[in-house]
A and B are shown apart, each in its own frame.
Chain A
Amino acid sequence: MIYGLLFFEFFKIGLFAIGGGLVTIPFLFNLAEKYDWFSRVELINMMAVAESTPGPLGVNMATYAGFNAASISGALISTVGLVLPSFIIIVIIAKLMSKYSCNTRVKDFLSGVRPAVIALILWAGIPLAQTSLTSDINIMIFVGILAAMRVWKKSPVFYIIIAALIGIALRL
């Protein structure tokens, strides 16, 4: 019954991850704790792959996570589950609305959701840091990369490649 469970969990993510692909990360961490589909370390590896391959980040993550949990059919089911809620909602909105805009209540809803989403992503960063920043050298590399990101706005792929080279050079 892993397929039904996968579909249900990713449908839930598709319904509640408001604000795009990165918002799926805390939800996926939740899954890593709840099920034995993938570990924390595997999830962080997945994030790196999802950032450096073409395709929408959220879709890449769902496909990868689904594949890890139950191979190709798992990948397909997770992706369909993720996309279905917004598909239904948007088809309805597109029919009803002639001009696209958010109404007052939706705006109010979002003004609460945005701070929650930022807190969620930061919260997902804590286990991430615990798993990845395990030595002083790792912490120094982290500070260096983050500083570089703040100064030069290069694409994530650039930093992922640099970090891979550092990892190989220092035998981390």
Chain B
Amino acid sequence: MVREFIKLFWVFAKIGAIMFGGGAAMLPILKSEVVDKRRYISQEELLDLYSISQCTPGIIAVNIATFIGSKQLGIAGAAAATLGVVTPAVIIITAIAAVLTQFMDNRYVIYAFSGIRIAVVALVINVVIDLARGNLKSWGKVAAFIIALAVLLAFKLSPALLVLTMGVGCVALGELRRRRAK
């Protein structure tokens, strides 16, 4: 029994150690480990998990780990898989953060990061373009986007409050529409 938990932890620690970035980028790695090698779930189930992890809060890769762990060995399994996928990142980032603080006043590191910060802005704008093209496919959604942006710019609304208001607003609209259709 204990060995199974360790194995679950180990499988997801490996995934956490070799995946980069976020979102759909980690799907191929997950597929090869969880579907092809371990046969925890089928490929269709993985895609289902991916879509449901996008509509639950939190980090997608972590959510998928929690799901699979929970399905395999209950809550303790979920804990083992979640800890697994998170542990390498915590170790690596803590080490890098500790080392980087020592080099942050080096001239060349400063130059490099000045360049890198430009790329980060480009990365963010690039993601916004991708997301907008993938999601803002109706005029209603474009309007929702513009309203959200206007509200953010005009009032200092906290991100959490905005997400909550927009979500609840759309549920209310959906209810109204269904009631009217009856």
Contact = CB atoms under 8 A, between A and B. Distances in A.
Contacts of A114: 131, 135, 141
Contact of A124 (B70, B119, B124): B124
A129 B170 contact: no
Nearest to B64: A90
A99 B67 CA distance: 12
Given A45-B113, A49-B96, A118 B57 contact: no
Interface string A12-56: 101111111110111100100000000001001101111111111
A112 B170 contact: yes
A3 interface: no
A53 B93 contact: yes
Category for how many chain B residues contact A: 35 or more
Given A54-B17, A115-B136, A168 B108 contact: yes
Given A100-B52, A101-B52, A156 B117 contact: no
Interface in B41-66: 45, 48-49, 51-52, 54-63, 66
B112 interface: yes
B88 A164 contact: no
B35 interface: no
Given A116-B148, A156-B20, 20 more contacts: A15-B57, A16-B57, A44-B120, A44-B121, A48-B117, A49-B96, A51-B123, A54-B16, A55-B92, A58-B22, A72-B94, A75-B94, A90-B56, A117-B131, A119-B148, A119-B149, A121-B131, A150-B126, A155-B21, A172-B114
Ordered nearest first, which 8 A-B pairs have the shortest CB separation?
A167-B115, A86-B58, A55-B89, A112-B170, A163-B119, A21-B22, A57-B22, A108-B174
24 contacts: A15-B160, A20-B22, A52-B20, A54-B89, A55-B92, A56-B26, A56-B60, A59-B61, A59-B62, A59-B89, A64-B97, A72-B94, A90-B67, A90-B78, A108-B170, A109-B167, A116-B167, A122-B125, A129-B121, A142-B122, A155-B21, A156-B123, A166-B115, A168-B111
